A and B are shown apart, each in its own frame.
Chain A
Amino acid sequence: MKIYDMPDREGHFGPYGGTFVSETLIAAIDELKRQYLRFRDDPEFQEEFAYELKHYVGRPSPIYHARRLSESLGGAQIYLKREDLNHTGAHKINNTVGQAMLARRMGKQRVIAETGAGQHGVATATVAARYGMECVVYMGSEDVRRQAQNVYRMKLLGARVVPVESGSKTLKDALNEAMRDWVTNVQDTFYIIGTVAGPHPYPMMVRDFNAVVGRECLVQMPEMAGRQPDVVLACVGGGSNAMGIFHSYIPHESVRLMGVEAGGEGVASGHHAASLVAGTPGVLHGNRTYLLQDANGQIIETHSISAGLDYPGVGPEHAWLKDTGRAEYVAITDDEALNAFHTLCRMEGIIPALESSHALAQAMKMAPAMKRDQILLVNLSGRGDKDMATVAERSGIRL
């Protein structure tokens, strides 16, 4: 087994990652890096984190063998890592608990976040309520419309939701706006980024907090199935649930890692959010990574049925895993994801998030051509309650 210890001290994953921010943020980022590196190795911090994950989040999340689904496909066995059963309904809470604990130790009374689908916003509002912190969530006005239920949930939890009207009015613009807030209020504010993107140390830190997912799988899979999976699959927006489940498996070279991006209306249509599959390297949101951009280096608008995958960049560690070939990346269209969504509802009694449905759809594509004793492990990153309106609308139903 090869040792994997990315990133380097400056936050580089090969040519990717780094700290591409204006001077006004450097001091805040240096301070965050120092504090995180200190608590990363602090047994007291890690003990409290483990306690919170167990008693507040509800970990470990189970792995479920989707027997009926596997049977119907007639090939590989599909197992689901049930992050949808976490408190607040997605993997996002793993990270917000960790960052909120850090914010408390740094004496910050105010937390801010960006959100796309609203899951990270809800997870941030949740921990802010739990720790008695002020919370402001930036959300593209287009997403505010698409994810009205989550907006209300955040408000119930005491957060202020600020609709962002600039640019494409989606996740990337919410991130820009949150950064601007941070620059202005850096003394008392902690910025809880929701995915493995942003400047160093965020990609590493968010990955570390989510890595519990893969660590659990390493133990659970042999218990359940007698061995590790052949393939681990996860959807990739910014890439936090994917890095969470991939990280422990990177040294296990016989396990294929597969990231599934949003293919929207098809990669050829241009209406998608598949940065790794169809993008080119560039610099956005504080790091170098694959981006969807035009010939002049302007970031282009993305499309996906799932707001959580609707992002033109991707975490820099995925860019590195792609270039080195350690992970493969594919795209699944809106229609394929919807089909997987409906199939899981009816065959297993589980309503998955549209984001997670992308990973599931890829597993369903691969399973029939594989042997019955082979195993596909899908990170079911979230539950689909938030997506009721979107799915109903697609079927011509007004709720």
Chain B
Amino acid sequence: MSRISATFEKLAQERRKALIPFFTAGDPSLHQCVPTMQAMVAGGADLIELGIPFSDPMADGPTIQRASERALKQGVSLSDVLDAVSRFRQSDVATPVVLMGYANPIERMGRELFAERCAEAGVDGVLVVDYPPDEARALGALLSPRNIDSIFLLSPTSTDERIKEIAAMSTGYIYYVSLRGVTGASNIDVADVARQIARIKAVARVPVGVGFGIRDDATARALSAVADAIVVGSRIVEEIETSSESQAPAAVGALINRFRQAMDADR
């Protein structure tokens, strides 16, 4: 069983929902990457989505774009991101790590080498934002023998046919994008999300998480009643942006802990 499935299974037994923070590797600095991940876990994160910086993050709003720019200014590469995961694994063998990014840096490294290095580093899942199913299948064929999950996005505009196709390919969990728009937008409609998640869960074989636009404890709490996991991204990146470099891990840890408490309040 993959580390991701094991995590969700344990959470299900405890009747808890997964809290999944996202941040961009190398923001605010490569040096703080592992400490930030550790602070996230200490604050109550169950799984970490680690963004691979890219010069043209077409699906991201201004907040995560700036995070990518800050990381790229320091020359952070995909190879550096993988090294950071290796370092994280020296102190934490339980928390799953999912890499999230765009196709080009992965293609530049080469899919085969990327898959190999993910396995060596201890990566548990990969989400390539701009891969169509055919390309994702080709990458997935390299990842699954290495016990690495392929995570996919679904959105409010996904058709039934599309949901079926993605559900059949997904391992680990499915990430439902809660709104029309880029990351960081904030026009989330909880009732609508609940309906959509039910639609996905009807065909999904894996847990369904929700993200994009979750900015406060109340939304996280409301959504954790309907989804298996809550992904918080832009709000965390804002916390990093407004903290000093040395304080960033602690600030992020505290923020995550607030989300954690809100999510566990109804248990």
Contacts and interface: CB of A to CB of B under 8 A. Distances in A.
Indicate the member of A10, A27, A291 with the most B CB atoms within 10 Å.
Answer: A27
Closest 10 pairs between A and B when the two form their complex, measured CB to CB? A297-B108, A297-B105, A27-B157, A296-B77, A184-B181, A22-B59, A23-B153, A283-B103, A298-B55, A24-B155
Contact of A183 (B106, B109, B180): B180
A297 B102 CA distance: 10
B104 interface: yes
Given A186-B180, A297-B108, 6 more contacts: A23-B166, A26-B162, A166-B69, A167-B56, A296-B108, A298-B105
Contacts, number: 118
Contacts of A21: 58-59, 130, 132
A7 interface: no
Given A26-B157, A180-B58, A180-B182, A286 B130 contact: yes
Nearest to B103: A283
A179 interface: yes
B58 A282 contact: no
Given A10-B134, A167-B69, A180-B58, A23 B152 contact: yes
B73 to A, nearest CB: 11
Contacts of B166: 23
Contacts of A318: none
Q: From DSSP, what is the main secondary structure of chain A's interface residues?
A: mixed
A179 B65 CA distance: 14
A116 interface: no
A284 B180 contact: no
Interface string A166-187: 1100001100100110011111
Nearest to A283: B103
A55 B54 CA distance: 45
A20 interface: yes
Interface of B: 53-59, 61-62, 65, 69, 72, 77-79, 102-109, 129-132, 134-135, 152-155, 157-159, 162, 166, 177, 180-182, 185
Interface in A1-59: 10, 18-24, 26-28, 30
Contacts of B152: 23
Contacts of A28: 157
A35 B162 CA distance: 19
B154 A23 contact: yes
Nearest to A187: B180
**Residue in A21, A28, A183 whose Cβ sees the most chain B Cβ within 10 Å:** A183
B108 A24 contact: no
A20 B181 contact: no
Instruction: Give chain A's interface residue range (CB within 8 Å of chain B).
Output: 35 or more
A24 B108 CA distance: 25
A285 interface: yes
B103 A183 contact: no
Interface in A325-366: none
B177 A23 contact: yes
A381 B134 CA distance: 37
Contacts of A295: 77, 108
14 contacts: A23-B166, A26-B155, A27-B162, A166-B62, A167-B55, A167-B56, A176-B57, A180-B61, A293-B104, A297-B105, A297-B106, A297-B107, A298-B104, A298-B105
A174 to B, nearest CB: 11
B125 to A, nearest CB: 16
Nearest to B59: A22
Given A291-B104, A297-B78, A299-B56, A20 B180 contact: no
A256 to B, nearest CB: 32
A282 B158 CA distance: 26
A183 B108 contact: no
A296 B105 contact: yes
Interface in A184-211: 184-187
Contact of B159 (A18, A27, A282): A27
Contacts of A187: 180
A166 B65 contact: yes
Contacts of A283: 102-104, 107, 130
A299 B57 CA distance: 11
B59 A183 contact: yes
Contacts of B157: 24, 26-28, 186
Contacts of B72: 298
A298 B157 CA distance: 30
Nearest to A295: B108
A249 to B, nearest CB: 31
A282 B182 contact: no
Nearest to B129: A22
Interface in A143-167: 166-167
Which of A22, A184, A281 has the largest number of chain B CB atoms within 10 A? A22
A55 B158 CA distance: 41
A177 to B, nearest CB: 9
A137 B53 CA distance: 27
B28 to A, nearest CB: 18
B130 A22 contact: yes
A317 B135 CA distance: 19
A24 B105 contact: no
A173 B55 CA distance: 9
B78 A296 contact: yes
A183 B182 CA distance: 7
B109 A297 contact: yes
